[in-house]
Each structure stands twice: as structure tokens, then as C-alpha cells.
Amino acid sequence: MPAVNTSLRQLLAGSLLLLTFAATAQTTPPAPALLLRPAAVFDGETMHPGWVVLVEGATIKAAGPAAQISAPAGARTVELPGQTLLPGLIEGHSHLLLHPYNETTWNDQVLLESQALRVARATAHARATLLAGYTTTRDLGTEGADYADVGLKQAIDQGFIPGPRLLVATRALVATGSYGPKLSVDVEVPQGAQEADGTDGIVRAVREQIGKGADIIKVYADYRWGKGEPSRPTFSQEELTLIVQTARGAGRPVVAHASTPEGMRRATLAGVETIEHGDGGTLEVFKLMKQRGVALCPTVAAGDAISQYQGWKKGQGTEPERIQQKRLSVQAARKAGVTLAVGGDVGVFRHGDNSREAELLVQEYGFSPLEVVQAQTSGNARIFHLLDRGRIQPGLLADLVAVAGDPTQQITALREVKLVVKGGVVYKE
């Protein structure tokens, strides 16, 4: 009997403690409102000199001319003289579980680095990405680190580590034998993506990735079957179509790594939402993409970085063939009117250097600064179905970044990050 009484007292004491915590949580005052006063506000589409933005909680309460918006009592005013306030930037193609290939080759990262080491590095990569002004990242494959991106996303969402909001693709899908690493034929080694073939295998793999937490299904529609070979299609038209149908039924978009005209054509006909890279794209295949509403994420910064790792001295001598081909493909995509998604394949180069893609698109590929800034905010948000961000308007997430100068006139202003707010929380000031 005494033991029962003791247990009862412990239960009552625990209940009382929980009630006390709950009461404390309910009476904790919310964070003060923020009134942000920049020189101008870029709302995702248009520049507005003299505007201010009021943030309450995790969302934008108001945005408009300074004379029309008053802050509530207790609000904190942040003066941002000479700065442009814009929606948090959206990175369209990254790999937080990778680091630059001139530090460690892709093969060695996949084969020799422990998952614990890779995750620890990824936490630093996530922080660097956020502080560079990128409040959302589409992370397109863990490259041999299984479902580590799901845990990374959870750690960010639960506030354990700082980082952008993540859309994760987990393991990605490849046709058996088409990916890597590849060593001796006598040695089975871990692969950088999940192999799947045929009706049963593809459906099982797609469903497994979704069940483990994938927001996106990524498929390699073409790749190099052997060392020194050019890329060739991997999955059949029927297989790609089945991947899209299976994912779409679960409310997940499919994106395709594709650099050959045939791989791009098959992926487009299957119904993918974006083509990643598109190096060998022709005017014909880009017209098909335009007709089917498929966007291109050209990842020009990745090829630029790899070419330099391989010895190219930028600005000296003849450009590498891959750079020349990329220019032709982007020109063809523009001529066809294909929608641009902006993402640099970050991980090939340094995380936090994300704006390298935007700069190259402006400086070497003929886009205007305004086009690129629109694409990295409202444009990427539309393509990725992120209706709660990418613009500055009441009711949307208070994901905001302030930069020195005007990035719609000078794209390098995106590097001059002075303020980062995600969900109403200031991460950099």
C-alpha cells in the first residue's frame, strides 16, 4: 500500500509540473514585432523605394509606404539605410551532404567519409547557406548518405541547428549499373543513389523514398555508363513515366538529371517538373519543355567550378568544350522561352557561395539582374509550389534578407548580406 501511495504522489507531482510548464508557455510573451526600414523593398517582382515591412510572429503583417504603416507598441525597428529588403532567396539545386570536389573527390566522399562526418559537415553547410541569404533550399540527393537529409531537415525544423527550410530528395533513383562509384568488377561498393529497374523495382523504390521522408523524387534520366563515355539515356520512357505517375499519386514532384537531348525528351514526356543541367539541350527539346511546362535549372556554376578544378584558367585561352556547349544550350532554352529555375549544384563548390550561379547567369549568360533576382525569389517559389514564400506580402512567411545596394541593378549585391530573417527570427544582423 505505501508503494501505491508513493507512485500516486509521483504521478500527481509530475502532472502538476506539466501543468506549470503549460501555464508558463501560455503566458510567455511573443517575440516583439519587427519593423524593417530599408531604402527599398523588392517584393519578388517589383522594386518599391520608401517601403517598410512589418513582421509579427513568423509572418509578414504588412508591407507598403512608410507613411501608411505603423508599428504596434513594443515593436523593434531595424533601420537598413542604403539596403534593399527582398524575400529570402531560394536555392534551386544543392547537395548539403557534399563539399567541393577540389577538397575531396566525389568518389572518396561517397566511399571513404563516414556518414557521421558528412552530417557534421552538412550542419555547417546549412548554416553557411542560411547566412548567405538563402532561406529555402531544394537539396537534390544525399549522394551515398542514404536518408541523412531527412534528419538534417528535422534538426533545422526543430530548432537544433540553424539552416534553410529544406525540400529533400533523399537517395535519388538510378538505373542499375549506370551510376557510381565504380571500382573493380569484382568489388561491390556503395552507390551514390538508389538503383531501381522495371515496374516492381521502380514502384517499390519511389514509395520507399517517399515513406522515408522525400519531398521530391529525383531521377537520373541519363548518365555515363562507363568511364570516359558520353552520357546516354538510362531509364526507358515507360520506366520514367511510371516513376512520375507513382510519385504524383503521393503528391510528390519529380525532377530529372538530364544532359542529353534524348534523356531530356523522355523525362519531359514523362511529366517531370524540372530538368537539371540540360547541357546538350537542343532547340527542339527546349520547345517540347516549353510546351509541357517543364523548367530548366542549368546549374552553370557547377560546370564552371569543375572546369577550373580540371586546370582551366578562367579568362585565359579557349574555353573548355563543356562551357561552350552550356552557353549554346542556355541560349537555345532562352530562345524557346523555357522557364528558368536558379540553382547552382552547390556542394560541387562551396556552400555559402550560392550566389555564384546568379552572378554567372548575369555576367556570362545574358540574363539581366532583375530576371535572376525574380527567378531566385518568386520564380523558384512558383516552380517548387511554395505558395507561402518568395514574395513580400501580408500573410506570407517572414523569410527576408537585406543586402547593401540594389541587386536588380548589380547582381553582386546579393553577396552583401546584412540581415537574414527566417520565420520572423533574426539569424544575422
Cell numbers 552507390 correspond to what residue?
A: 191
Count of CB atoms situated within 10 Å of the CB of 334 = 16
CA dihedral 371, 54, 135, 338 (to 10 degrees): -20
Residues 214, 114, single domain; the answer is yes
CA 265 – CA 261 distance, rounded (Å): 6
Same domain flag for 54 and 116: no
Give tens-digit pLDDT for 157-170: 999 999 999 999 99
Looking at the fold, whether 95 and 83 belong to one and the same domain comes out as no
Q: Amino acid identity, residue 179?
A: Y
pLDDT, position 21: 36
d(CA 425, CA 427): 6
Instruction: Tell me what pLDDT residue 228 has.
Output: 86
Q: Are residues 287 and 412 in the same domain?
A: no
pLDDT (tens digit per residue) in 291-337: 999 999 999 999 999 999 999 999 888 999 999 999 999 999 999 99
- State yes or no: cis peptide before 181, omega within 30 of 0: yes
* Enclosing domain of residue 415: 34-87+393-428
Residue that terminates a domain, selected from 354, 383, 407: 354
Would you say residue 404 lies in a domain? yes
Grid look-up 505505501 returns 2
Q: Is residue 379 domain-resident?
A: no
- The CATH number that applies at residue 66 is 2.30.40.10
Question: Based on the domain organization, do 264 and 328 belong to the same domain?
Answer: yes
- How many folded domains does the chain comprise? 2
Structural domain includes residue 16: no
Helix (H) or strand (E) holding 209: helix 198-212
Q: 327 lies in a domain?
A: yes
pLDDT of residue 32: 84
Of 305, 329, 354, which residue is a domain's last? Answer: 354
Buried b (16+ CB within 10 A) or exposed e, 370-409: bbbbbbbbbbbbbbbebeebbbbeeebbbbbbbbbbbbbe
- Largest pairwise CA distance in the chain: 91
Same domain for 412 and 317: no
Give the distance, in angstroms, between the CA of residue 52 and the centroid of all CA atoms in the same chain: 28
**Whether residue 126 is found in the same domain as residue 43:** no
Give me the DSSP letters along 271-293.
T-SEEEE-TT--HHHHHHHHHHT
- pLDDT score at 13: 45
Quick one: 87 exposed, middle or buried, by C-beta within 10 A (0-12, 13-18, 19+)?
A: buried
Residues 124 and 243 in one domain: yes
**What SS3 state is found at 190?**
coil
- Residue 26: predicted pLDDT: 41
Residue 153 placed within a domain: yes
Residue 128 in contact with residue 415, Cβ under 8 Å? no
Q: What are the Cα distances from residue 344, in Å, to 129, 322, 352, 424?
A: 12, 16, 11, 27
Do 50 and 174 fall into the same domain? no
H/E/C letters for each residue in 360-412? HHHHHHCCCHHHHHHHHHHHHHHHCCCCCCCCCCCCCECCEEEEECCCCCCHH
Q: What is the pLDDT of residue 30?
A: 61
Grid cell of 97 as nine digits: 551532404
Mean pLDDT split into 10-residue runs, the chain, 429 residues = 44 42 43 94 98 98 96 95 98 98 97 98 98 98 98 98 98 97 90 96 98 98 93 98 98 98 98 98 98 98 97 91 96 98 98 98 98 98 98 98 98 98 97
Could you give the CA distance from residue 186 to residue 16 in angstroms, rounded to a whole number?
Answer: 64
* Surface-to-core class of residue 249, CB atoms within 10 Å of its CB (0-12 exposed, 13-18 middle, 19+ buried): exposed
Domain membership flag for residue 151: yes
* pTM of the full structure: 0.92
d(CA 3, CA 1): 5
Among 306, 330, 354, which residue terminates a domain? Answer: 354
Is residue 13 in a domain? Answer: no
Same-domain status, 68 and 170: no
Specify the CATH number for the domain of residue 139. Answer: 3.20.20.140
* 123/61 same-domain check: no
> Do residue 417 and residue 303 come from a single domain?
no
Cβ neighbours for 295, distance < 8 A, ≥ 6 positions apart: 273, 274, 275, 289, 338, 339, 340, 341, 383
Report CA 345 to chain centroid distance, whole Å.
9
The pair phi, psi for residue 288, each rounded to 5°, is -65, -40
Would 371 be classed as within a structural domain?
no
3-state secondary structure of 322: helix
C-alpha cell at 365: 549568360
